[in-house]
Amino acid sequence: MNFKIHPLLLITFSLNIFLFAGIHNGISQDEPSPTSEETVAPEKVTVNNIFIVGNEKTRRNIILREMDLMQGLTYDWQEFVELVIADQKKIYNLQLFTTVDVTPLFIADEQVEILVSVKERWYILPSIIFNLADRNFSEWWINQGRDFSRVNYGIKLDHNNVGGRNEKLRVIGQLGFTQALDLNYSIPYIDKNQLHGLSAKFTYFTNKTVAVRSVSNKQVFFTNEDEEILRKTINAALTYTFRGSFYNFHFVTVGFHNTRVHEDVLAQNPNFFPHGDTRLKYFYASYNYRHDNRDNVAYATDGTLLNLGLTKYGFFTGDNFDEAEFSVIASKYTRLNNKFHAATGISGSAFFSGRQPYTLVRGIGYKPDFIRGYEINVIEGQQLLAHKNSLRYELLNIAFDLSDIMPLEEFSIFPIRAYISANFDHGFVIDNNRLPENAFLTNKYLAGYGLGLDLVALYDTVFRFEYSLNNTGGGNFFINVRAPL
């Protein structure tokens, strides 16, 4: 079959990809050629076939599940161009491929073939664990005095595409500050229509050093004289997922939690568990709704994210805890031009009673809720709200071809993007107990601002380097991993 590329389609497609440069592989796009005055777009196009190449492991139906474009359907021209761009973004956000290109090929004036070309990532990733046990790098560097005993080490195995169906398997064996065994397995679809999925998780961990409370809005850790294990925790959960449309997900989780602490922990904080026992056990269930329409799930520059959650702790008479919690994450990303984009988002949570086990304490400083400038603080309470804002400028967007020295194709292209960011965050935490030792920052307006440099590298790894000030006069340099919102 002879293919020809419709000139106006390529021009329009290149223009749109240029405007959305970097959403799929971090490689800079060249300036599109000027549109020819003699080129006329067709009013409608019909998709005859969809061809997929490069998916040696990933099954075809997993890729087709992300596409609005379908064989045999006819589209208006502008709708067709928009769907090509959107489908490319959705396929990349599977996080199975290093590059994704969706290319239309015309075989007649109104007849088109779609070529989906992907380059797969390296799916089996055994790695050595060597990370900090603290909330962030700044907590470890400043508050904990760069103590290397607060390091976790071990072995982690990730298989991110077990049977080519986007299943995720993770096995962790960890020693150090937290000794842990972690098993996770998820399969996105268990039915032919690719709507329903399941995941299972089992976690067992122990600690010889435990955060027992906070004083002056900083965590206080305790280790007894004999360096005994102070906490043992088992958690098991099963999650059902439903994906009725491209951008909307529903999650229902049921699980069991059991934590046992040494009596010395209760001596340090009699309110560590509200019921005053050394054991806390309960069943729980949660529902989460997630709308995710971001151009890149690791570091978004355009789109929206909404996550709503409701969790009920305690269902049976033998449970030690009876509580409900609501949480929200809502973010908006707006591309202002080819170089600038803005990001704004809120995160918050609320318990419905005044006292919770200290192992479930929430507040500013615990993921995902933070305010820049307060990285070394924990502001604990029952209700919190944080509003994060960034204006970012794309300083760099390049990719290095390492194929001459890198034998593995999955690592042969090393992309890197760099953004300068101007940041402003604010929010508050309500502590109904009004603990005097933490009154300096609870129940008060909190704000932080500053400048940062964000780096996005291979496999969408994110590093942030920021200098931030807060509204109490404090300021410092902070290093973080992951996008702030």
Cis ω on the peptide bond leading into residue 368 (within 30° of 0)?
Answer: yes
Q: For CATH 2.40.160.50, list the domain ranges present in the chain.
A: 124-481
Residues contacting residue 381 through CB under 8 Å, at least 6 positions apart: 362, 363, 429, 430, 431, 432, 442, 443
Reported in sequence order, the residue ranges of 314-412 that DSSP labels E, i.e. its strands, are 323-335, 340-351, 362-364, 379-381, 383-401
Q: At residue 152, what is the residue type?
A: N
Q: What is the pLDDT of residues 115-130, one digit of tens each?
A: 999 999 888 877 777 7
Q: What predicted TM-score, i.e. pTM, was given to this entire model?
A: 0.82
Q: Virtual CA dihedral for 113, 119, 124, 125, nearest 10 degrees? A: -140
CATH of 7-119, one of 1.10.1040.10, 3.40.50.150, 2.60.40.1180, 3.10.20.310: 3.10.20.310
- Which residue do the tokens 């603080």 mark? 377
Specify the 3-state DSSP secondary structure of 150. helix
Q: CA-based angle 26:28:34, to the nearest 5?
A: 140
Task: In whole angstroms, give the CA distance from residue 413 to residue 41.
Answer: 35
Q: Could you tell me how many residues make up the chain?
A: 485
pLDDT band at residue 31 using 50, 70 and 90 as cut-offs: very low
C-alpha distances in Å from residue 164, one per residue of 75, 168, 476: 31, 10, 45
Task: In whole angstroms, give the CA distance from residue 438 to residue 443.
Answer: 10
**Neighbouring C-beta atoms of residue 36, cutoff 10 Å:** 10
pLDDT band at residue 39 using 50, 70 and 90 as cut-offs: low
pLDDT band at residue 23 using 50, 70 and 90 as cut-offs: very low
Q: Report pLDDT for 52.
A: 96
Q: What is the mean pLDDT of the chain?
A: 87
Task: In whole angstroms, give the CA distance from residue 69 to residue 53.
Answer: 17
The whole-number average pLDDT for the span 240-257 is 96
Asked whether 205 and 172 are in contact (CB, 8 A), the reply is no
> Does residue 374 have a pLDDT over 70?
yes
C-alpha distances in Å from residue 357, one per residue of 159, 216, 258, 259, 313: 35, 19, 12, 11, 11
> Does residue 369 have a pLDDT over 60?
yes
Task: In whole angstroms, give the CA distance from residue 250 to residue 400.
Answer: 39
Q: At residue 426, what is the residue type?
A: H
The whole-number average pLDDT for the span 80-109 is 93
Task: In whole angstroms, give the CA distance from residue 221 to residue 151.
Answer: 15
CATH of 124-481, one of 2.40.160.50, 3.30.420.10, 1.20.120.80, 1.20.1630.10: 2.40.160.50
Asked whether 9 and 40 are in contact (CB, 8 A), the reply is no
Q: Report pLDDT for 140.
A: 79
Q: What is the pLDDT of residues 183-208, one digit of tens each?
A: 999 999 999 999 999 999 999 999 99
Rounded to 5 degrees, φ, ψ at 178 are: -120, 120
Q: Report pLDDT for 19.
A: 34
Q: For CATH 3.10.20.310, list the domain ranges present in the chain.
A: 7-119
Specify the 3-state DSSP secondary structure of 392. strand
